[in-house]
Amino acid sequence: MRTKQFLVIDDNKADADHLVDMLDKLFFFKLAGVAATLEEATSILKNETIDLIFLDIRLNNQSGLTFLGIDIPLPPVIITSAYPEYAIESYRIGKASDYLLKPFTNERLQIAISRAIKINFYRNSDIENASVFLKTGRKIQRFNHQSIDYVEAFGIYTKLYTDDQYTLTNERLSSIRKLLPEHTFIQVHKSYIININKITTYDRNNFWIGKAKIPIGLSYRPYLDNLLSLFSRND
C-alpha cells in the first residue's frame, strides 16, 4: 500500500504546523509540502504525486477559491477556514470534498478525510481486501469493510447491515467499534456505528444511508459539530 501524500496550502504557519502534526498521527499519510501561496502550491502539484489537498480560503492577497479553478487536474480538496461564510460558495464551485471550520477536532478531520478519499475508493484496490471476521451464530463470517453500511446494537448482539439486509452477530457494539477502522467508521449514537462512505444525506439530527434513517445521539453531537453547523446556517 503506497503511503498517500498530502499538500497543505495555508499562509498561517501555526495553523499549517498544527494540521501537519494532526496528520502525522495517521499512518497512511505523509507530507509532500506546505505552500503559503497558490504559486507555490501549483509548483508542488506539478512535481509531486498529491493524493489530498488541504486548502485555506484566505491567503495573503489571494483567495483559495481561485485555486479550485486552475487548469490542472486536482486531487480531492478539503477546505480549512475560520470563515464559515465561504462554505456555500465552495460547494457551488463543486470541487471541494468537505469544509472544515477552524479549529477542528481529530474526529472531524478523520470524517473529512474519509469523505474526500472515497472519491477514489472503488478504484483503489488496496482497500478491497480490508475485512473483519465476526462470529455469527456458530460460524465465523468475513465482512469486507466497504460492504458494511452500518452497525446497530441489538441487546448483547449487533445487527450488521449490508445492502439493506442485516446479519446478526454475537459481538457487542463496543467490541465491533474496536475492530473497524476509525477513519471510515464513526459512532454517531450509543446504538449505531456508520460507514461514512455510505452516507447519502444528513441533517442536524440524522444520517441517511439509503432509506435507513440513523439518529445522531446528543452526546455524540460535539464530535460532529462542525459538520452539522453547515446545515444550521441554511435552516
Name the most confidently modeled range: 48-52, 85-89, 228-232: 48-52
Amino acid code (one letter) for 212: A
Residue closest to 20 by CA, chosen among 31, 10, 32: 31
Measured CA to CA in angstroms, residue 55 lies from 38, 58, 91, 97 at distances of 10, 9, 14, 11
Mean pLDDT estimate for the chain: 82
Terminal-residue alpha carbon distance, the chain:
42
pLDDT per position as a tens digit, 78-125: 999 988 888 877 777 767 888 898 988 887 887 788 778 754 433 343
The larger pLDDT score, comparing residue 36 to residue 232, is at: 36
Domains of the chain: 4-123 (3.40.50.2300), 129-232 (2.40.50.1020)
Beta-carbon-side half-sphere exposure of residue 130 (alpha carbons within 13 Å): 15
Closest CA to 178 of 158, 204, 208: 158
Q: Which amino acid is at 112?
A: A
d(CA 139, CA 197): 28
Angle, helices 225-232/106-117, rounded to nearest 10 degrees: 70
Each residue's pLDDT tens digit, 61-73 = 888 888 887 777 8
Distance CA 44, CA 27 (A): 22
Output the pLDDT for position 223.
65
Instruction: Tell me the mean pLDDT in the region 145-164.
Output: 94
% of residues, the chain, pLDDT over 90: 35
